[in-house]
Amino acid sequence: MSGDKPKTYSIKELACDFGVTPRTLRHYEDQGLISPERQGQNRIYSAEDRVRLAWILRGKRVGFSLSEIGEMLDLYDLGDGREKQRAVTAERCRDRIRALEAQRDDINATIEELQEFSELISNLKRDKKKGVWIRRDTGQPLQKYEP
């Protein structure tokens, strides 16, 4: 009735859906990040695999290595479920969060500096007499890094 054909994907389908190559997916499998089912030899990817892959790729975009991503995915598998183990898992989770927050701060700082700089050079003009660059807003001449 409802779950007749849960929609699966071939390796190439899934790959170009996400803008990567089949080789990449096989590589992720070698690293234990995804384990699609098989029809004979061929890999069959499920909707869950899609979600996992999305996670992996976002992990990559924010700068994690494959093994780090592997660890994080392992967290989702909850280990053996013992209390202690779960406490460790939760703590690792929070570590990651802290690292990500620090990274976000870095990004914000970088954005700000780029923003300032972009505005600076957009507002720059030439003082014909002195042959020097000055800022249209403050009228100040350019300090460091004069061209």
Partner DNA sequence: ACCGAGGTTGACGTTAACGTAAACGTTAAC
Partner DNA sequence: GTTAACGTTTACGTTAACGTCAACCTCGGT
Residue with tokens 């000055």: 134
Residue with tokens 């070698």: 30
Which DSSP state fits 1? -
Distance CA(88)–CA(107), nearest Å, equals 29
> Which partner from the list DNA, a copy of itself, none does 114 bind, CB cut-off 5 to 8 Å by kind?
a copy of itself
Query: What would the two tokens of residue 141 be?
Result: 């001449």
Q: Is residue 66 at the binding interface for DNA, with CB under 7 A as the rule?
A: yes
**Residue from the set 12, 110, 127, 141 that interacts with a copy of itself by CB under 8 A:** 110
CA of residue 77 relative to chain centroid, distance: 21
Q: Is residue 27 at the binding interface for DNA, with CB under 7 A as the rule?
A: yes
Site for a copy of itself, rule CB under 8 A: 48, 58-59, 61-63, 72, 75-81, 86, 89-90, 93-94, 96-97, 100-101, 103-104, 106-111, 114-115, 117-118, 121-122, 124, 126, 133, 144-145, 147
